[in-house]
């Protein structure tokens, strides 16, 4: 029997080892070039940190699919599923240049670059000042540079995804997933903004918004290796579902952490979602229980709110059972997502994907 602490430690170690490789790959794929200020702004948040959870899901899924020992493969030259792992040129008949291996790290960097683009633009829309403990890009630079930095990351993500060396048909499918994922993220962000002015959002509507805004990028991360390495449709669909489930659970946990983690550790003001009238599963549930959500915090200015006000608000939400409700929902989603992994070979990397799912809702920040 492993203890929860030992399990978390193992996951963090697995994430850390992949993060190191992703962190090395980012400046290779996205070098600072002319115009320097634009590329520095584009790299600013990527260089400021981040757990690289989405790339980790992507890389671990690749390992599980080819039944590899975790971290035993070179992500830059990853074997395909369908036995093209020879030193000879591929016998595949497509018109692209034949390749024996796939650069899965390109795909991993691509999804992280998309994630970073959405953070830069979201911070402008939400007028958030801090991100990952540093100023948001539009604060560190300026509005125009931040918009443009996001736009640059957007097209760079597509350029990088084009470089995996996969068969053109698989590359087309991968780019299709990337493009529809970006569209859904925009739709989700748009719903999120309109929800701020509504007091009748249902849990179903909230979960739909979260699916689009957050979960689809986890879903893309989980299914992209299956597409690029040549898995069958059943596997691709199951992995997409796993990503959607754990992505929704991740966002619900994020909403819980926004209320419960000290500002210092969070890298931004605790309770900022409440102050800014962001809908979360917690507030949607609490309103159903008769809690006056709009009255919980007096100000709409994150700089003016006091810790005591946030403490009182959290106590009210706890009384209403809303935080437990969110925790339970996240747990259900994670269990559902883990069950979908049965489509994969039973191996250590699959076990890691299960642990990662647990970690997303057990993490302290």
Provide the binding-site residues for a copy of itself, judged by CB under 8 A.
Answer: 34-35, 37-38, 92-96, 121, 124-125, 143-145, 147-148, 150-152, 154-156, 158-159, 162, 167-169, 171-172, 175-176, 178-183, 186-187, 189-191, 193-194
- Phi/psi for 101 (5° steps) reads -135, 165
Nearest distance from residue 169's CB to a copy of itself, in Å? 4
What is the spatial distance between Cα 155 and Cα 161, in angstroms, rounded to a whole number? 10
Q: Alpha helix (H) ranges present in the chain?
A: 4-29, 36-47, 53-65, 104-126, 137-140, 143-161, 168-195, 203-210, 216-229, 233-260, 263-266, 272-275, 281-288, 307-319, 322-340, 348-362
Nearer to a copy of itself, 154 or 359 (CB): 154
- Complex with a copy of itself: residue 71 or 169, whichever CB lies closer: 169
- Residue 142: CB minimum distance to a copy of itself, A: 9
Compute φ and ψ for 340, nearest 5 degrees. Answer: -70, -20
**Peptide bond connecting 71 to the previous residue in cis, omega within 30 degrees of 0:** no
CB 347, min distance to a copy of itself, A: 28
For the range 90-93, what are the long-range contacts, defined as Cβ-Cβ under 8 Å and sequence gap of 24 or more?
Answer: 92/167
Long-range contacts of 309-315 (CB under 8 A, 24+ apart): 309/271, 310/259, 310/270, 310/271, 310/274, 313/259, 313/271, 313/274, 314/259, 314/260, 314/271
User: Measured from the CB atom, is 90 or 260 closer to a copy of itself?
Assistant: 90
> Which of 38, 130 has the CB closer to a copy of itself?
38
Residue 68 main-chain phi, psi, to 5 deg: -95, 150
| Dihedral sign (CA 202, 204, 208, 214) | positive
Q: Give me the least distance between CB of 242 and a copy of itself, in Å please.
A: 23
Assess contact for 108 and 151: CB atoms under 8 A. Answer: no
CB of 140 or CB of 309, closer to a copy of itself: 140
Residue placing its CB nearer to a copy of itself in the complex, 147 or 261: 147
Smallest separation (angstroms) from a copy of itself to the CB of 255: 20
Q: Which is nearer to a copy of itself, 167 or 358 (CB)?
A: 167
CB of 39 to a copy of itself, least distance (A): 9
Least distance between a copy of itself and beta carbon 262 (Å): 29
Who's near 354: CB < 8 A, 6+ residues apart? 338, 341
């Amino acid at each position: 029997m492993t203890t929860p602490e030992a399990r978390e430690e193992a996951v963090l170690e697995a994430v850390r080892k992949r993060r190191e490789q992703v962190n090395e790959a980012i400046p290779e794929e996205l070098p600072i070039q002319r115009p320097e200020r634009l590329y520095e702004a584009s790299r600013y948040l990527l260089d400021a940190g981040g757990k690289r959870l989405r790339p980790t899901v992507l890389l671990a899924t690749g390992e599980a699919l080819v039944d590899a020992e975790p971290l035993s493969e070179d992500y830059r030259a990853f074997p395909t599923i369908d036995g093209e792992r020879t030193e000879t040129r591929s016998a595949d008949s497509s018109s692209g240049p034949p390749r024996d291996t796939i650069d899965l790290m390109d795909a991993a960097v691509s999804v992280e670059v998309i994630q970073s683009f959405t953070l830069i633009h979201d911070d402008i829309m939400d007028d958030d000042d801090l991100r990952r403990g540093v100023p948001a890009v539009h604060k560190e630079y300026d509005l125009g540079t931040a918009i443009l930095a996001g736009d640059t990351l957007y097209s760079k993500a597509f350029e990088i995804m084009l470089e995996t060396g996969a068969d053109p048909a698989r590359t087309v499918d991968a780019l299709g997933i990337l493009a529809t994922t970006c569209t859904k993220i925009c739709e989700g962000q748009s719903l999120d903004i309109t929800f701020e002015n509504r007091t009748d959002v249902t849990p179903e509507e909230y979960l739909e918004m979260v699916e689009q805004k957050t979960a689809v990028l986890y879903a893309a991360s989980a299914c992209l290796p299956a597409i690029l390495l040549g898995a069958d449709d059943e596997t691709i669909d199951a992995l997409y579902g796993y990503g959607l489930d754990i992505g929704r659970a991740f966002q619900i946990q994020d909403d819980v952490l926004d209320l419960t983690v000290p500002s210092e550790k969070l890298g931004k003001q605790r309770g900022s979602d409440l102050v800014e009238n962001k809908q979360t599963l917690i507030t949607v549930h609490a309103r159903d229980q008769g809690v006056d959500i709009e009255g919980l915090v007096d100000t709409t200015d994150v700089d003016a709110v006091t810790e005591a006000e946030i403490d009182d608000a959290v106590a009210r939400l706890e009384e209403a059972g809303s935080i437990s409700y969110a925790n339970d929902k996240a747990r259900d989603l994670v269990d559902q997502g883990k069950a979908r992994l049965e489509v994969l070979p039973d191996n250590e990397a699959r076990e890691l994907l299960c642990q990662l799912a647990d970690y997303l809702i057990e993490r302290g920040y």
